[in-house]
Chains A and B, each alone.
Chain A
Amino acid sequence: MHRRELLGGTAALVLAQVRWAAAAELETLQSGPPYRALPEKQSKHGKLTTVLNMATGSFDVGGRTLRLPAYNDTMPGTLYRLRPGDTLKWTLRNNMTDDLGLPLGATGANEAQKALNYTNVHTHGLQVSPGDGSDNVYRVIKPGEKHTYTYKIPGPESGRPQPAGLHWYHPHKHGSTSHQGWQGLAGPIVIEGEIDRVRAVAAARERVMVLNEILINDQGETPTAGIVPTAGPVPFTSVPAMPMDILFPVNGVLRPDIDVRPGETQRWRVLAAGPHRVFHLKIDGHDMWQISQDGIPFAKARKVSSIVLAPGNRAEFIIRGGAPGRYAFRALAFSQGHPGGARPEKILGTLVSAGEPMNGELPGDLVEPLTIPAKARKVVNERTVRFSGDISTQPVQFFLDGKPFSGSRIDQAVLVGTTEEWTLINEDVFRHPFHIHVNPFQVIEINGQPTNDDSWWDTFMLPSKGSAKIRMYFRPDVSGLTVYHCHILPHEDNGMMANILLYGADLPQGFGPEGGHH
């Protein structure tokens, strides 16, 4: 007899999930801690100059004391507001220490553990140079070191200004990206622009929300160890093993109460900053009027009942407060291919509608949508990228085109100023989110079927054992070497990343498109 039949394990799991969901229901009836707005800084006279100091802090999350590194003592990091054409300059100081999250009995960090504190920073969504001194993800900043980054955000003079919306920053040192993601190291960047002047959008109260996914051991520290997948409520364990839990705070607060007045409109800008969890967002009793995806505004608001955010995705939407009451803000159960079935539902917070009624305006038409320039609409090249993996081993292994990441290889070379179509074939059951730096893309087919969707993405979750075809225009004014990868960060760290050379007339000798261009 099969063991499952003997034990009825699946039934037990379902029952357990029902109990968790019911427990979560009860939590929404009880008041939670207040919503927290993040500290923020705004550019002045076209410039924003600051420091990102990474050092250990102590944070009270859900009644637990966590010891985690943070940017400038706030978890998640400060919100930075800029405009197209601005220059952002920051000095990243790595003051992280190697005394956190060590396995029981360890007398100090070994070299591999120390390397988990090597870092850099990536400006996810900004269409800026990937060169050194700008958004160079190959740069390594060890503890005690610092590095200054300067980003020239494309303005109107470029002919293709940076879209106005929610973008973000996070560590991107290959090998430690997920570890630092588990620690909550992330922060939002808001680019302001035309959509902010649309009347219904401008009138809505803004909330910028960072959804973290904090992996901690029983000491309240992120394990400094290899991480491998498991089934059950906590989706990972470590090697060496440590007891673990996983928390989903909103702006560093576990299950906050988010206030709204009945009829009031609010503009929620939501970032999925976790390394692994897909957030299928729903607010009980409330529709969402989505106005933007991955920081790129729509032409017209779209009324939806839920929104799926893979790691790295952002969505902006308008809600209008319902009748007085308490409404759960949920991450619905979602099957993302992780072992053991769907990740369970989580209550992220509670929308609390109370106070004097308002009559907020819902959005309709928004802005001129982003398009590919007419002169570059001809598709000059097609490529295929295959996603695969093996989780039976330690470390787990993930591949693009059958190969793990190597920093000494050019996997794709693309002529800037052209348009290409890439077919992304997922041979895996995991729903890998494809992310590419610098240039966003449109998804034109899923499993061979046209999407008829003009949304732009910089991160798109592939179907399990399926495919997506994307269309990308490579802006002509940004060249250099950068990467594309799975944005489930443990997959990226374990190999699922590749290099792309964006070249112009100054093509270095020896480089060129594999399939040729016309």
Chain B
Amino acid sequence: MKKRIFLTLPALCFAAVAQAQDAGIFQYVFTQSYKNPADPPGRMQPIRAGVPVQVQLPAGPGVWVYDAGESSNVALTGEGSFDSPDRIAGTDTIQTFSFAVADGADRAKIVVTTDNLPPSLADIVPGGVFDLSLQVVSP
């Protein structure tokens, strides 16, 4: 039996968050680890339509910038960062970019770039260009 409690507005907000926690935080997350120099150019990652996408990249002092001109069929919905010192040489932060894929699109592309790439990432993200090609599959 549920215990009766008096819910204030903040509590209702938290209840919604709790419900969301139970429902999971399902999104596609891509990091620099997704890039493999041995992969063929234009490698496509299939994703389900309607599921958010997030890109996480090591940063600080370098800064990654979303390249809207080179990207397609995605809308940037948010940016953020996490302190993350001493994990990857030459970086102290993880920078995040959140995206929604356009309704009805069967392809999408995300490009983020930096002009201050640490040597530790030179072979993983050549030229400081992180590009991601997505194939959108109906759920």
Measured CB to CB, the residues of A under 8 A from B are 2-4, 7, 9-10, 12-13, 19-20, 22-27, 29-31, 62-64, 103-105, 218, 226, 228-234, 237, 239-245, 326, 337, 339-341, 391-396, 429, 465
Contacts and interface: CB of A to CB of B under 8 A. Distances in A.
12 contacts: A3-B59, A105-B46, A218-B48, A230-B31, A231-B84, A232-B56, A233-B25, A239-B34, A340-B82, A392-B89, A392-B121, A394-B35
B25 A231 contact: no
Nearest to A242: B28
A16 to B, nearest CB: 9
Q: Which of A12, A25, A392 is the most central at the interface, judged by chain B CB atoms within 10 Å of its CB?
A: A392
A3 B63 CA distance: 6
Contact of A339 (B26, B54, B87, B137): B87
Contacts of A465: 86
Nearest to A395: B33
Given A63-B22, A243-B48, 4 more contacts: A9-B79, A104-B46, A339-B94, A392-B32
Nearest to B32: A392
Contacts of A339: 82, 84, 87, 94
Contacts of A229: 31
Contacts, number: 158
Q: Enumerate the 10 nearest inter-chain pairs by beta-carbon distance, A residue then B residue, closest first.
A: A9-B81, A243-B26, A340-B82, A394-B33, A245-B24, A23-B18, A228-B33, A9-B80, A237-B29, A231-B82
A238 to B, nearest CB: 9
Q: How extensive is the interface on chain B, given as a class?
A: 35 or more
Given A23-B15, A339-B94, A394-B33, A62 B88 contact: no
Contact of A12 (B80, B120, B124): B80
B15 to A, nearest CB: 6
B21 A394 contact: no
Contact of B48 (A13, A104, A237): A104
Contacts of B86: 429, 465
Nearest to A394: B33
B70 to A, nearest CB: 19
